[in-house]
Amino acid sequence: MIGAIAGDIIGSVYEYHPIKTEAFPLFGEGSSFTDDTVLTAATADALLQGAGFGESYQSWGLRYPERSYGSVFRQWVQSGDLAPYGSWGNGAAMRSGPVGFSAKSLDQALMVAKRSAEATHDHPEGILGAQAVAGSVYLARSGASKDEVRAFLVSRVGYDLGKSLAEIRPRYRFDATARGSVPQALTAFLESTGYEDAVRKAVSLGGDSDTLACIAGAVAEAFYGGVPEAIWNRALGCLTCELGAVVVRFYERFQLPHCWGETRAPLPAPPTRTTTAPSPRNRPRRRDLSPVAAGWS
């Protein structure tokens, strides 16, 4: 889970200022969590509480109203109406990592990912994006090889992973559709040599950087057995008290390692500050990908 959150924070600076290099500071001025982190925590909280996903997304969205949500999602949160709105964007994929970490089987991961997606992104592409990420996380933490993860994504999800990052990167641009971003983020993981390398590769694509790094980071954490401790500490320190508390409870409940080489890590305390983390500065809101927003059917 922290792998997704750290990826979001690292990529946040480059979401609307894309880069095409893997050489960049991981954290710096302006690094902040976005809607990706809030909704990842909302997924985790729903799993911890046994609550409905839609209720959790609306509740957490209301607590953090200025985190670059798309306009249709923002309206959905504020409406109190739990009916989904048919999005085929990558929003369901970015928040589905906790499903893969908590699932007891691949089938369960796919079933619960579908439920989590359908709260908002009930278009088939939105659902597939969530299942691709949750399924990859489950397989990665269960000891599957990268070839096995790739086979799952190609044969069961139906993604085309025929292009390497070197082939994707030159022409790649911001694309918030599930089909146009989830396979690319997962390719960054598949070509990586470690957690940090996966996140750097995802950001270097130059697209929806926070979400690409969030997705790649979730699977990389699962595959490599945690994240570097310095990244864990820095990411946790960027969160508010309640977000940090959800992270810690999730790791304790599902007995997840948080650092490389540990089978059961002692967890640090959540952040102790009581103020809300600053909003990302001058960051445009995410483009919506639903029939309502885009005029498509």
Q: Which domains does the chain have, with CATH numbers?
A: 2-17+29-286 (1.10.4080.10)
Q: What backbone phi and psi angles, to 5 degrees, belong to 37?
A: -70, -45
**pLDDT tens, position by position, 212-264:** 999 999 999 999 999 999 999 999 999 999 999 999 999 999 998 865 544 33
Mean residue pLDDT of the chain comes to 89
**pLDDT tens, position by position, 265-286:** 444 454 444 334 444 434 444 4
For position 296, what pLDDT does the model report?
25
For position 267, what pLDDT does the model report?
45
Give percent above pLDDT 90 in the chain.
81
- The residue-averaged pLDDT of 97-116 equals 98
Report, in angstroms and rounded to the nearest whole number, the Rg of the chain calculated over CA atoms.
17
Q: Evaluate if residue 109 carries a pLDDT over 50.
A: yes
Q: Evaluate if residue 110 carries a pLDDT over 90.
A: yes
∠ CA 51-72-47 to the nearest 5 degrees?
A: 15
CB atoms near residue 75 (< 10 Å): 15
Residues forming beta bridges with residue 177, ordered by sequence position: 89
For position 266, what pLDDT does the model report?
43
Q: Evaluate if residue 291 carries a pLDDT over 90.
A: no
> The pTM is what?
0.89
For position 70, what pLDDT does the model report?
86
Q: Evaluate if residue 100 carries a pLDDT over 60.
A: yes
- The residue-averaged pLDDT of 40-54 equals 97
Q: Is 257 helix (H, G, I), strand (E, B) or coil?
A: coil
Distance between CA 241 and CA 270 in Å, rounded? 6
**What's the per-residue H, E or C state across the chain?**
CHHHHHHHHHHHCCCCCCCCCCCCCCCCCCCCCCHHHHHHHHHHHHHHHCCCHHHHHHHHHHHCCCCCCCHHHHHHHHHCCCCCCCCCECHHHHCCHHHHHHCCCHHHHHHHHHHHHHCCCCCHHHHHHHHHHHHHHHHHHCCCCHHHHHHHHHHHHCCCCCCCHHHHHHHCCCCCECCCCHHHHHHHHHCCCCHHHHHHHHHCCCCCHHHHHHHHHHHHHHHHCCCCHHHHHHHHHCCCHHHHHHHHHHHHHHCCCCCCCCCCCCCCCCCCCCCCCCCCCCCCCCCCCCHHHHCCC
Q: Evaluate if residue 71 carries a pLDDT over 50.
A: yes
Q: Which residue has the higher pLDDT, 70 or 3?
A: 3
Cα separations in angstroms, 139 against 33, 124, 136, 142, 147:
27, 22, 5, 5, 11
Q: Is 43 helix (H, G, I), strand (E, B) or coil?
A: helix
Q: Evaluate if residue 153 carries a pLDDT over 50.
A: yes
For position 264, what pLDDT does the model report?
36
